[in-house]
Amino acid sequence: MNSRYLAPDPVTGDTATISDVARLAGVSISTVSRVVNGTAPVSGAVMARVEAAMQTLHYVPRAAARNLATRRAHTLGLMLAVSSGDFFGPLLAGVEGVAVEHGYDLLISTAGRNGPQTELPRSLGRHNTDGVLVSAGSLHETALRALHATETPLVLLHASAPDGLNIPCVTIENKAAARAAVEHLIEAHGRRRVVLLRGPDLLADSYWRELGYRQAHTRHGLDVDPALCVPGDFNHEVAERSVARLLAEGVPFDGIFTGDDDAAVGALRALHAAGVRVPEDVAVVGFDDQRLAAALTPPLTTVRAPTEEVGAEAARQLIALIERRPVQPVTLLPTTLVHRRSCGCLGV
């Protein structure tokens, strides 16, 4: 066989070209390109000749060679706690839009019902992702520390980095927004006993929203009654049980800050089942402004969070890290209170 068709020389580093493959296979360069890129149909016999020539010459397509040289997979990993619910649709849309814009694929894994994972799923390892977006509640701190130790580019969504870890995060203004929501109930609607439906333990969003709730009470000289701080878990079923229990036990209250919109759904169900009028008897405020918020009965007053932009900005920052460009350690996106009927306002 002519030496031009031999495998790449391990000493000189000479490599086969697409022209070499075409000559050995007895086809045109464009035919080899169609086989490599799958851009047009090729007969089985021709494809077999091209693939045999590529194997003989140890031919590596240019894009694959670039990936090997740079150790890039051109893929972003996204680790979520769960993938269901209206909250995650906009978040995913934001991540995916930026990934596609910059020529990256996206691999998604979820922790599921078992809670934060103690190990990163194999699908998101360095061999097939260039970096990983880690959403709050998806990875246990031990797993996050282990992943950080591998020098994998990381960005956190709706979470702060554990002590000692230099990991950028993208989140929203939770504390001021929660404080404004509860103060609106106190100031505009005269509510004095406002229930807090707490979010899941260990989530940063839960912590900051509860702090805002407490600050609103302090600012107006009101004590926080521990009996009014009950589980909501950002979950309609948990929230419905908590509100139903308060009603059954005769605990007096005239307002509810639900922590998120999914919990608001459960709160409204429990109130409706008990014949409690909203907002006449109990005013309700949520958080996130999910798509369902305006369609609830009554329409839900809630904090509008830029969930899609969180995903987009986190993806931008991860790509910047992958490309060794500087990023902000913390990105805090603003929120706004949207007034609708459930608090007593006449908004729609």
Q: What is the mean pLDDT of residues 325-329?
A: 93
pLDDT at 110: 82
Give the chain's mean pLDDT. Answer: 87
Question: Please, are residues 334 and 310 in contact by the beta-carbon 8 Å criterion?
Answer: no
Q: What is the mean pLDDT of residues 15-29?
A: 82
Q: Which CATH architecture has domain 73-172+308-332?
A: 3-Layer(aba) Sandwich (3.40)
Q: What is the mean pLDDT of residues 116-129?
A: 75
Q: Which two tokens stand for residue 304?
A: 């509008």
Q: Which residues pair with 169 in a beta bridge?
A: 156, 330
Report d(CA 47, CA 27) in Å as an integer: 10
Close Cβ partners of 236 (under 8 Å, ≥ 6 residues apart)? 262, 263, 264, 265, 266, 269
67 pLDDT above the threshold of 80: no
* CATH number of this structure's domain 3-69, picked from the four choices 3.40.50.1370, 3.50.50.60, 1.10.260.40, 3.40.50.12780: 1.10.260.40
pLDDT at 22: 85
pLDDT at 1: 34
Q: What is the mean pLDDT of residues 109-126?
A: 74
65 pLDDT above the threshold of 60: no
| End-to-end Cα spacing for the chain | 79
> Chain centroid to CA 182: how far?
26
CATH no. of 175-306+337-343: 3.40.50.2300
148 pLDDT above the threshold of 60: yes
175-306+337-343 has the same fold as 73-172+308-332? yes
152-182 per-position pLDDT tens digit: 999 999 998 998 999 999 999 999 999 999 9
Domains of the chain, by residue range, sit at 3-69, 73-172+308-332, 175-306+337-343
| Nearest Cα to Cα of residue 57 among 4, 93, 96 | 4
12 pLDDT above the threshold of 80: no
Mean pLDDT lowest for which of 101-105, 215-219, 229-233?
101-105
Residue percentage of the chain with pLDDT more than 90: 61
pLDDT at 29: 74
